[in-house]
Amino acid sequence: MTMQDSGPTPEIGQIVQCTKGRDQGQYFVIIELIDDRFVRIADGDKRKIDRAKKKNMNHLELVDYIAEEVKSSFIETGRVTNGKLRYAITNFLEKHSNLLKEGD
């Protein structure tokens, strides 16, 4: 039996957008890969790192953007601060708000 490739693979530090649930439409950062179906996400604000949410990959839309500062923090120290998560999401939204406006 072959494993079916279900699109892009999630990575730590990757920005995702929730497509289901109470957090729908909000952006988060993947902070842990649990297995091939679940990840843990946090945004450093409403959803802090110590209360990270376990999410089914089917309820997330992967954004083609990896927050390098989050990824390198995990590589160096094995953890990341809430401030870094907030910074990563703010940075992403600032860079991509131009793209969203141009699409009108």
Each of the 104 residues of the chain gets a pLDDT tens digit; together they read: 444 445 678 999 999 999 999 999 999 999 999 999 999 999 999 999 999 999 999 999 999 999 999 999 999 999 999 999 999 999 999 988 765 555 44
Half-sphere exposure of 95 (CA within 13 A, CB side): 12
Report in angstroms the alpha-carbon separations of 2 from 5, 8, 32, 34: 9, 17, 25, 21
CATH of span 14-102: 2.30.30.140
pTM to 2 decimal places: 0.86
Q: Can you give the pLDDT at residue 1?
A: 46
Q: Can you give the pLDDT at residue 101?
A: 58
* Segments of the chain assigned E as strands: 14-18, 27-33, 38-42, 53-56, 60-66
Which residues fall within 8 angstroms of residue 8, CB to CB, at 6 or more apart? 62, 64
**Helix (H) or strand (E) segment spanning residue 74:** helix 68-77
Q: Can you give the pLDDT at residue 22?
A: 93
Q: Can you give the pLDDT at residue 103?
A: 47
